[in-house]
Amino acid sequence: MTAKLSLPQSSKMLSKDFVYGVATASFQIEGGASKRLPCIWDTFCDTPNKVVDGSNGQTACDHFHLWKEDIALIDSLGVDAYRLSISWPRVITKEGKLNPEGVQFYTNILESLKSRNIKAFVTLYHWDLPQYLEDEGGWLNRNTAYKFRDYVELISTAFGDLVHSYATLNEPFCSSFLGYEVGVHAPGKVGKEYGRKAAHHLLLAHGLAMQVLAKTSPNTKNGIVLNFTPCYSETDSAADKQAAAFADDYFNQWYIQPIYEGKYPDIINKLPIAHRPDIVEGDMEIISQPTDYLGVNFYTRAIYRYDDKEYFFQIEPPEPRTDIGWEIYPQAFTDLLVSLNEKYSLPPIYITENGASIDDVIVAGKVEDVRRFNYYQQHLNAVNDAIEKGVVVHGYFAWSLMDNFEWAEGYLKRFGIVYVDYDTQIRTIKQSGYAYKALISNR
Ligand code: FCB
């Protein structure tokens, strides 16, 4: 493949200050499970019929043992930054103390990144809640937010100046809605009375952690990573438009409005009392701490029609789609960034995840992932269009560095710009990876 990822010559995304990175998450790549406490994803994987291929995170990409090679791989891609997450159950004991071995694992990685001049973007929670906390109610227990604060205080102090940026949480929508409302993610709880309550405690955890980071780590860029699936109406009918607006409040604005406006969307008043979060006085002030940046994860959009029972009904995504069934619709990315920028008074945005699941094949040591290349080309342009419309974006991270454990899909979906052979743990840079490298180094 000779194609090159390109941007208009005048693009701000071609400036050396624009940060390009790759992203991963602890549970999805590390393995090394015997060296940490169990988390909710271990339990979920052990429950029959939860993960499509019946797999788990015991070995994953064995990054726990191969981290040196992996950091060299990241360096070879020429990126400015690496977004990784910390496994809470690896660094904190049941007694709430630091586990020195776990901390050392990450300190080694952070030091290696620093020596190579790669900025470390550290996510403090990417879904691997210690199982012993879930046994006490998990995110339905308000106390979990305070346990998170304590963990953040200890770990951010231990890391000192090795970190460039902290994200408190990755995608609280997924932790709360997927994990506690529809149950397709760990811990697999199902009930409308759970989702919003879990979300509130996650947002509270974010606010408490921001307060702590302001003290322990005032020199890092501290913020949060939210995912957005922009909502479109199937037709122009008032009913369909209303359905899409309701879904947008329920899935997207629910997580950002509390942070930047200190309140939940008005649809909260339409929810049955039993489904509403338990808000204690002062919570919204804690949640709406100022952030240094907003991390935005984008993959696809969703289309809704009116439904008289549930307010909205999501129709099947049209083609073209990636192999995980998500529609490819880059215009939604530009629309999203522009609309967030209009609605809120935001700090600079980093695109903290964007990428495509493609059923790659490796032939004679090469992966010609043309469809992933095209996805990146279209979505980089979409970000550039938003920047031209006045949105302040400071960086872009490809999801993901390498193929990994894709949650309820197991190892069946490949998102990497590097191919992983799970039998041999051999990594092979895909054509999209080479194209990404060329874009970065040709600036
Ligand atoms: C996001 C997650 C990330 C990855 C991608 C495909 O929701 O943050 O871990 O699984 O989706």
From the list 38, 33, 28, 40, the residue with the least C-alpha distance to 70 is 28
CA torsion angle 159 160 165 170 (round to 10): 30
Ligand 1 centroid distance, CA of 181 (Å): 18
Within a domain: residue 295? yes
* Neighbouring residues of 442: CB distance < 8 A, sequence distance ≥ 6: none
Q: Is 293 part of any domain?
A: yes
- Cβ 407 under 6 angstroms from ligand 1: yes
Shortest-distance atom of ligand 1 to CA 28:
9
Q: Is 88 in the pocket of ligand 1 (CB under 6 A)?
A: no
Summarised one tens digit per residue, pLDDT across range 210-225 is 999 999 999 999 999 9
Is the beta carbon of 298 within 6 A of some atom in ligand 1? no
Q: Is residue 298 part of a domain?
A: yes
Closest-CA residue to 387 (of 350, 432, 344): 350
Selecting among 30, 134, 353, 406, the annotated active-site residue is: 353
355 Cα: distance to centroid of ligand 1 (angstroms): 9
Q: Is the CB of 182 under 6 A from ligand 1?
A: no
- How far, in Å, is the centroid of ligand 1 from the Cα of 29? 12
For the chain, the domain total comes to: 1
For residues 55-76, give the mean pLDDT. Answer: 98
Work out the average pLDDT over 417-432.
98
For residue 406, the ligand 1 atom closest to its alpha carbon is 10
Give the β-pairing of 426-429 and 418-421: antiparallel
Task: Please tell me if the CB atom of residue 174 comes closer than 6 angstroms to any atom of ligand 1.
Answer: yes
What percentage of the chain carries pLDDT values higher than 70?
100
| 78 conformational bin, left if phi > 0, alpha if psi -120 to 50, beta if neither | left
Give the Å distance between the CA of 171 and the centre of ligand 1: 8
Active-site annotation holds for 69 = no
pLDDT band at 2 (very low <50, low <70, confident <90, very high): low
**How many other C-beta atoms can be found within 10 angstroms of the C-beta atom of residue 38?**
15
How far, in Å, is the centroid of ligand 1 from the Cα of 227? 9
Q: How far is the CA of 170 from the centre of ligand 1 (A)?
A: 9
CATH number of 45's domain: 3.20.20.80
Active site residue 353: yes
User: Which whole number is the average pLDDT over 30-40?
Assistant: 98
Those residues whose C-beta lies under 8 Å from the C-beta of residue 55, and which sit 6 or more positions away, are: 45, 405, 410, 411
Averaged over 111-132, what is the pLDDT? 99
Which one is catalytic: 134, 171, 181, 406? 171
pLDDT of 414 reads 98
C-alpha 405/C-alpha 301 separation (Å) is 23
Pocket test for ligand 1, best of 175, 406, 413 (most atoms within 8 A of CB): 406
Does residue 170 have its Cβ closer than 6 Å to ligand 1? Answer: yes
Taking residue 124's Cβ as centre, other Cβ atoms within 10 Å add up to: 24
- Split at pLDDT 50, 70, 90, the class of 135 is very high
What number does the ligand 1 atom closest to the CA of 407 have? 10
Q: How far apart are CA 425 and CA 262, in angstroms?
A: 46
User: Left (φ > 0), alpha (ψ -120 to 50) or beta: where does 81 sit?
Assistant: beta
Give me ligand 1 centre to Cα 28, in Å.
9
Does residue 74 belong to any structural domain of this protein? yes
Q: Which atom of ligand 1 is nearest to the CA of 225?
A: 8
Flag whether 437 is in a domain.
yes
- 343: nearest Cα among 248, 203, 268: 248
Q: Residue 264's pLDDT is what? A: 98
Mean pLDDT of 177-202: 98
pLDDT for position 1: 52
Count the residues in the chain.
Answer: 443
Q: Does residue 171 have its Cβ closer than 6 Å to ligand 1?
A: yes
Atom of ligand 1 nearest to the CA of 415: 6
403 in ligand 1 pocket by Cβ < 6 Å?
Answer: no
Which residue type occupies 144? T
Report which protein residue has its CA nearest ligand 1's atom 10. Answer: 406
At 252, the pLDDT band (50, 70, 90 cuts) reads very high
Q: Decide if 5 is inside a domain.
A: no
Tokens (6 digits) for 250: 């329920």
- Check residue 309 and give its pLDDT: 86
In a domain? residue 2: no
Does residue 4 lie within any of the structural domains?
A: no
CB 87 within 8 Å of CB 36:
yes
For residue 50, pLDDT over 70 is answered with yes
Both tokens of 37, joined, read: 């406490």
Q: What is the largest CA-CA distance in the chain?
A: 62
| Ligand 1 atom with the shortest distance to the CA of 227 | 7
Range of the domain at 256: 12-441
How does pLDDT run across 276-334, given as a tens digit for each residue? 999 999 999 999 999 999 999 999 999 999 999 889 999 999 999 999 999 999 999 99
Res 383: pLDDT: 99
The CA 251 to ligand 1 mean position distance, Å, reads 16
pLDDT at 3: 77
